[in-house]
Structure 1
């Protein structure tokens, strides 16, 4: 099932997520989620709704709300079979979700939100390179990966062009995060993984 915002045409924005209440709810939701990540068997299913509401409550949602909602949506999929095409399809759905959620955002935020997607593509490429690249199945995977990478690059270019239409002030990314970047990153990787693997992807 594709990742998507399960929005209803007749649904209304949560009227309690306004002003200071919004920030309080965002911070509390983040703290609850981080507490869950520390458990041996975390259950993220109950965290989906709060972050969905946070996205719906604002035209230009905070980076954290989109980042977490997309991460939880991605984590809800099982990759037990380790099928590269299945993973690639889910990564593509993730890209569609993130680009849809961030469409009202400025170019800086839209590009920043691509970091987890690039990370997942990188991991898949490393995995595929370790297999027999001569097989028909692997060639198909390589073609589809290249296609997705081209789409992502095109999206970044489009965001950059969009940025030229706005002032420097409006394009400045909001760095007033409610939690440290390291904690945001931990939502995308396992507790025992090294954070350096996330930040070193683009090096």
Structure 2
């Protein structure tokens, strides 16, 4: 979501989280959410603790009730260029910049902060389970990444993206061995890199 002009209200806090740092394929997706205290949402939790049905039910509620939200996908090419940490940090900055309302503070899940941010920020380990705004961001990031991976499945058939979403499951690793990497795979990740340059292993 992007709106103009960008407004600012003192005291607003944005939660920021990502989905997809660990998979062997697909983008890393980052979301930022500013919740509306006047429109509380029931059931917010770390997206990993929720079922797919729960996440898919909560995501439209978050988009409808939040003061502002944004979702950014950082593609495989940028992950290769920056490495996964750099790509995640870049996505966090962009997600905050894309909010239609400028927050005063960003609460970011994890133990690292991007070097350049449009507002003050604090890193919170386990924040996706303890801070509602981060929980909301984790749900938006996860559901959007799952949607992207479902769309990649028929484009790159045989890998099972619709089921494992690019993570290194036995099914995925077996498909990699059988088919070799496709354009959706992250060449810098060891199981993919080994198949691209086996002489190095």
Report the TM-score, using the length of structure 1 for normalisation.
0.30
Q: Which has the higher contact order (CA 8 A, sep 6+)?
A: 2
Q: Which has the higher strand share?
A: 2
Report the TM-score, using the length of structure 2 for normalisation.
0.30
Q: Which has the higher helix share?
A: 1
